[in-house]
Structure 1
Amino acid sequence: MAGRHRRLAALTLAALALTGCASSAPRETVTPSPAPTTVAPTAEAVPTWPLTGVPGEDAEERPAVAVKVENTAMARPQTGLEEADVVWEEMVEGGITRFNAVFHSRLPEVVGPIRSVRPMDAGIVAPLGGPQVISGGQPLFLGSVQEAGVQLISHDAGHAGFFRSADRRAPHNLYGRLPELLTQAEAAEPPPEQFSFAADGEEATAVLEGEPATALRLSFPQTSPGWTWDGGADRWLRDEAGEPATSVAGDVLGAENVVVMRVEVVASEGRDQSGDAVPETVMTGTGEALVASGGRVVPATWSKAALGEPVTLTTAAGDDVALAPGTTWVELVPVDRGGVDVQR
């Protein structure tokens, strides 16, 4: 019996020893893995061309280039206007108009007929940061535009890219090869946005807040261009005194937006061939405006604090006017020698 008790005691001590060893060993703690979280993808902003608001994933890093284009019966049909992002129409001597066509998202091979600079071109081109292409100009005007920081690419100065067409008589036959002209630009950056754009045409300010319109009739002292809404093309189509304004290919010129700015026109210090003062549009200050998009028009106010700043368009409530994505024609209509009639 004594031996049996000794064996039980030994087994009990061994069991206690094993229990003690087990209790002193570190225990492994298993932490459950957190459930995977789903992160919603962030929508990337689609890049747009700054002068049209049109999406352009392949938008090239190039400057805008403005070209001074004639607008007389001898110059029509002009070449390249249909591919301009923005076209400005300004009154010059004799009460006729000329265009300052700005190209960026599209570059036609040829543009023209090209004519001379005017003092108000500084306020149009300086905010873009790119060059102005001209045939030449009076030294007074050349100097004032250059003082505003605008690079001039001029036929009279011997720059490359110009040629005379045998199809027309001088001075209505000077044209430019736009890609070659652009290679001479000192600027390399694309232009900043000049106007505000809606995400799509249905959200343009004129569409949301304006009144329906079928046509706009404009008047300058010696010309009366017009714009008629084409719902099928979803564009405003241009005419010259009732005759369709066309490209060389025969297509009617059009735009998604027409901006009419009522402006002061004063006598500059320059003189034309008859000795009369060359008119100068005052490009700074503020005034009445009319914005047409999507077959509707809305009144607005334009303002421009300095030559180098873009024009700002605001509603009566003080909000920025959003244009429809696309091309824009800006009509600089004199307050005292011109007018605009909206046809419903």
Structure 2
Amino acid sequence: MKFKLRLIVAVSAAALTLTACSSSSDDKAAKPASPDASQGTATKLVEISPLTGKALRKGRPDNPVFVVKIENTSAGAPQYGLDKADLVMEELVEGGLTRLAAFFYSSLPTKVGHVRSLRTSDIGIAGPVGGQIVASGGATGAYNKVKNAGITVFSEDAGSPGFSSDPAKYRPYNRLIDLKVVAKKAKRTKIKGPYLPWSPADAAPAPATGKTATAATVRFSPATSTGWKLDGRKWVRTNGHAAPNKDFKADTMIVVFAKVGNAGYTDPAGNPVPETVFEGKGEAMVFHGNQVDTVTWRKPSLDEALTFTAKDGTPYTIAPGKTFIELVPQGAGSVTLG
């Protein structure tokens, strides 16, 4: 199914109702409607970002969605470029640690990192928006699985451009990427649909469920948990590794509980590498403002988008804005509210 982007229509003069969508074989942005003096003037059609649900006022970018794998321990601090990401996901890796997958579409920073290797879990993470993965490398088996899934990979190990060294760090924690350089070599891929089911921009807030929180601890393993606090209307990490005042600030934070299997290989230290199965269905928790809603998530296949269902069985949508998704092991992971 081709991606039909929702459009905002700016109207002047007489009242005018328009229904518009974009769908073309070459994936180009929609063209503004022609003015009609007899009915009013449609001044502009604005496409909606698949990653934020917000208007792309300058039109759809020429670049694809880049998914950059970023180290998420103190060894890789500080993290660069997260404040420019459209969406960020935290996933489990070996040893009970986690790694970030940062999505860049509307903005391409020249300094992102520190960049680490890919995992087979990234197929389900990047797939819904045709994301092109940027990584320092990856185990041969994992790299081949990702490529065989039809996902483009820009890897330093494979000679991809744009990588540089941070002189203040040491390998493998010193790799940086310039996404503008990568974009010169990248071909834009089709985006089948939005990553999340976005609410209309003028939609009323979801009704309160009675559960509220201003802090949360998301536990991935005995070794790793991520702390969160509500800062104004934004959810921010309390133990993140971003450069000062440059962390990702989420309008919505979503915890998705998903099954975790074995990727079939070990890391150099002999730790089994986990693979998060990012398809199927399960429980999720949506944090927006001080409201916390428990919903059911569904993702029919690795390359399809997330949808949510409220407890009463009705579709549940996400307010437009920047979103952080915690991809937590089902059964082993937990969330504590504060």
Is TM more than 0.5 here?
yes
Amino acid at match of 1:328: T
1:78-135 Cα distance to aligned partner (Å, 9 max, x none): 0011111111101110101000111011221111011111111000111111310011
1:33-86 Cα distance to aligned partner (Å, 9 max, x none): xxxx97466696543222101222203243111100000111122001111111
Contact 1:130 1:185 in 2 (8 A): no
Structure 2 residue 299 is the aligned partner of structure 1 residue 307? no
Contact 1:61 1:190 in 2 (8 A): no
Residue number in structure 1 paired with 2:198: 197
Per the alignment, do residues 43 and 196 of structure 1 end up closer, same or farther by CA in structure 2, a change over 3 Å counting?
A: farther
Amino acid at match of 1:235: K
Residue number in structure 1 paired with 2:159: 158
**For the pair shown, which has the larger CA radius of gyration, 1 or 2?**
1
Residue number in structure 2 paired with 1:219: 219
Amino acid at match of 2:236: L
Per the alignment, do residues 274 and 163 of structure 1 end up closer, same or farther by CA in structure 2, a change over 3 Å counting?
A: same
1:334 counterpart (329, 335, 338)? 329
Task: Say which is worse superposed, 151-160 or 195-204, in terms of deviation.
Answer: 195-204
Structure with the largest fraction of helix: 1
1:331, distance to aligned residue in structure 2 (A):
0.4
Residue number in structure 1 paired with 2:25: none
Instruction: Give the Cα separation in 1 of the matches to 2:180 and 2:148.
Output: 26
1:317, distance to aligned residue in structure 2 (A):
2.6
- What secondary structure sits across from 1:197 in the alignment? coil
Contact 2:217 2:227 in 1 (8 A): yes
Contact 1:294 1:324 in 2 (8 A): no
Identity across aligned pairs (percent)?
Answer: 36
Unpaired stretches in structure 2, ≥5 consecutive residues: 1-36
1:321, distance to aligned residue in structure 2 (A):
2.3
1:263-309 Cα distance to aligned partner (Å, 9 max, x none): 11122211112323211111111110001112211111111111111
Runs of 4 or more, structure 1, over 2 Å off, are 37-48, 59-62, 186-192, 198-205, 207-212, 245-253, 317-321
C-alpha RMSD of the superposition: 2.2
Residue number in structure 2 paired with 1:117: 118
Contact 1:92 1:278 in 2 (8 A): yes
Instruction: Give the Cα separation in 2 of the matches to 1:174 and 1:146.
Output: 22
Instruction: Give the Cα separation in 2 of the matches to 1:270 and 1:203.
Output: 48
Per the alignment, do residues 172 and 178 of structure 1 end up closer, same or farther by CA in structure 2, a change over 3 Å counting?
A: same
- What secondary structure sits across from 2:158 in the alignment? coil
Contact 1:202 1:294 in 2 (8 A): no
Structure 2 residue 88 is the aligned partner of structure 1 residue 87? yes
Residue number in structure 2 paired with 1:186: 187
1:186-244 Cα distance to aligned partner (Å, 9 max, x none): 33445631112223487343x6556322112111221111221122xx2111122xxxx
Structure 2 residue 268 is the aligned partner of structure 1 residue 273? yes
Per the alignment, do residues 272 and 188 of structure 1 end up closer, same or farther by CA in structure 2, a change over 3 Å counting?
A: closer
Q: Give TM-score scaled by structure 2 length.
A: 0.82
Structure with the largest fraction of strand: 2
Task: Say which is worse superposed, 54-63 or 85-94, in terms of deviation.
Answer: 54-63
Instruction: Give the Cα separation in 1 of the matches to 2:122 and 2:38.
Output: 55
